[in-house]
């Protein structure tokens, strides 16, 4: 029998909207032409891609020639960093980023360090915020790039992007932002925010997987990332992922059109979850900034508990969530983000991320908290640490 699934992991991925799928489908079959060919079924596809590029450009307030389609957020991050590093190496070899970036960015930085670049990893405060003053003092004459995420995927903290952009521009340093989580959750204006490069991904916004884009401001020197044909203004060769691009643009259009009502509904559920957890589950700590926070993100640490056990038990109740510990990825270390905001290892290990999406209901949120209360209580009842703690409390 099918068990009802409550999906609270929209920061990991989202389902494709049926309307988006419907727009994509013809491009797998009758509209299969290669956009580079000259017969009419192909030039129709070329036009469809041009229209998709225009749609995407409109969502971040830029012009279509600054949008480059990629195979997703990871590729966009890799491209921005590697190509900018290469193109600007004669000016300097210093890059500034933060300790809380996604691995697509951090591992690219490590790669660049092996190639002779120097990377400064900025600390963040206890809520995950970058201090603009600290950023400014880290800029050196040989700094070529600042890459700071728009919003964090684990704790939902939204960084002071406009201020970072202003500082970067004043110092003549390029500014890239990984906006994979923020895109269509927060209004983005790349001109006003002085963003030179921005990464986004389809599958985080109810679009297809394996497609995304990189915005590169006109005038930024960037060499080709994929060599071959002349696609994407000769910077990223390869026959276009036409259905993916159509789906990405459809998802972006729908998510942007409905941004204010959708995020208002998400915020209401988010705050309900936070409020109930804080008042009904003892020794629970909210991670991330309370106000500068993505509308769909809830992240808590529960003392005396293993995140993995929590996830397995929630899964048994049909609830999909995510933990702040990286055990699932084969490492015993807790998340680098939770450590960077100063959580001790044992607290970071007991973390839970719930990310809501379009369609998440208040009833689902209540069910999740009801189940979570039971899970936390049960796991604590098994914990010798908790038993010791309670004994100590009682003997006070
Ligand atoms: C998901 C994610 C990525 C990677 O995007 P993919 O499309 O899965 O490659 C990069 N950065 C952040 C912040 C993300 O959340």
Over the stretch 330-348, which tens digit does the pLDDT of each residue have? 566 789 999 999 999 999 9
325 has pLDDT over 70: no
CB atoms within 10 A of CB 374: 12
Q: Which whole number is the average pLDDT over 366-382?
A: 97
Task: Name the residue of 11, 12, 72, 209 whose CB sits within 8 Å of the most ligand 1 atoms, as the mutation to test its pocket.
Answer: 72
327 has pLDDT over 60: no
Note the pLDDT of residue 301: 97
128 has pLDDT over 70: yes
Q: Which whole number is the average pLDDT over 228-237?
A: 93
Residue nearest to atom 6 of ligand 1 (CA): 73
For the chain, percent of residues with pLDDT exceeding 90: 91
Strand boundaries in the chain, DSSP class E: 6-7, 67-70, 94-98, 118-122, 143-147, 174-178, 197-201, 212-216, 284-286, 297-302, 319-320, 322-323, 351-355
Closest C-alpha to 81, from 144, 1, 15: 144
Q: Provide the whole-model pTM.
A: 0.96
CA 25 vs. chain centroid, Å, equals: 27
Distance 284 CA to ligand 1 centre (A): 28
Closest C-alpha to 62, from 191, 180, 156: 191
Structure tokens at 185: 């959750």
Q: Which whole number is the average pLDDT over 221-240?
A: 92
Q: Which whole number is the average pLDDT over 285-294?
A: 98
328 has pLDDT over 80: no
Q: Which whole number is the average pLDDT over 197-223?
A: 96
Separation between Cα atoms, residue 269 and residue 267, nearest integer Å: 5
193 has pLDDT over 60: yes
Query: In a 3-state reduction of DSSP, which class is residue 147?
Result: strand
Distance 339 CA to ligand 1 centre (A): 20
Whether the CB of 73 sits within 6 Å of ligand 1: yes
- The set of catalytic residues is 327
User: What average pLDDT does the structure give for the chain?
Assistant: 95
Note the pLDDT of residue 30: 94
Separation between Cα atoms, residue 54 and residue 67, nearest integer Å: 8
Please report which confidence band the pLDDT of residue 1 belongs to, taking 50, 70 and 90 as the band edges.
very low
329 has pLDDT over 80: no
Distance 265 CA to ligand 1 centre (A): 24
Note the pLDDT of residue 365: 98
205 has pLDDT over 80: yes
Note the pLDDT of residue 332: 67
Ligand 1, closest atom to CA 210? 7
Note the pLDDT of residue 330: 55
Note the pLDDT of residue 396: 79
Whether the CB of 201 sits within 6 Å of ligand 1: yes
281 has pLDDT over 50: yes
Kindly state the helix (H) or strand (E) to which residue 52 belongs, with its residue range: helix 40-59
Over the stretch 26-74, which tens digit does the pLDDT of each residue have? 999 999 999 999 998 899 999 999 999 999 999 999 999 999 999 999 9
């Amino acid at each position: 029998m099918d068990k009802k699934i409550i999906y609270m992991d929209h920061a990991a991925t989202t389902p494709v909207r049926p309307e988006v799928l419907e727009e994509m489908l013809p491009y797998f079959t009758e509209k299969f032409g290669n956009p580079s060919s000259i017969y009419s079924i192909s030039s129709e596809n070329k036009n469809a891609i041009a229209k998709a590029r225009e749609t995407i450009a409109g969502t971040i307030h830029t012009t279509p020639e600054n949008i480059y389609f990629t195979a997703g957020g990871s590729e966009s991050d890799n491209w921005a960093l590697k190509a900018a590093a290469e193109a600007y190496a004669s000016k300097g070899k210093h890059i500034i980023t933060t300790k809380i970036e996604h691995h697509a960015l951090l591992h690219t930085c490590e790669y660049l360090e092996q190639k002779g670049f120097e990377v400064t990893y900025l600390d963040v405060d206890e809520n995950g915020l970058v201090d603009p003053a600290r950023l400014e003092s880290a800029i050196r004459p040989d700094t070529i790039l600042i890459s700071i995420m728009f919003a964090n995927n684990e704790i939902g903290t939204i960084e002071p992007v406009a201020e970072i952009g202003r500082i970067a521009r004043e110092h003549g340093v390029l500014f890239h932002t990984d906006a994979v989580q923020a895109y269509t959750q927060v209004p983005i204006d790349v001109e006003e925010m002085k963003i030179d490069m921005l990464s986004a991904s389809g599958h985080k916004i109810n679009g297809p997987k394996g497609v995304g884009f990189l915005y590169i401001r006109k005038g930024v020197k960037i060499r080709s990332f994929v060599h071959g044909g002349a696609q994407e203004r000769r910077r990223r060769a390869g026959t276009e992922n036409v259905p993916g691009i159509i789906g990405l643009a459809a998802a972006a259009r729908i998510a942007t059109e409905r941004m204010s009502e959708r995020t208002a509904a998400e915020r209401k559920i988010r705050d309900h979850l936070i409020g109930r957890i804080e008042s009904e589950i003892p020794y629970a700590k909210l991670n991330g900034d309370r106000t500068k926070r993505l509308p769909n993100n809830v992240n808590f640490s529960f003392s005396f508990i293993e995140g993995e056990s929590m996830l397995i038990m929630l899964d048994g109740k049909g609830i999909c969530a995510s933990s702040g510990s990286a055990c699932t990825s084969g490492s015993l270390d807790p998340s680098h983000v939770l450590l960077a905001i100063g959580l001790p290892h044992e607290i970071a290990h007991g973390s839970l991320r719930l990310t809501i999406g379009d369609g998440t209901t208040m009833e689902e949120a209540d069910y999740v908290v009801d189940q979570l209360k039971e899970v936390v209580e049960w796991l604590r009842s098994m914990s010798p640490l908790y038993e010791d703690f309670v004994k100590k409390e009682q003997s006070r």
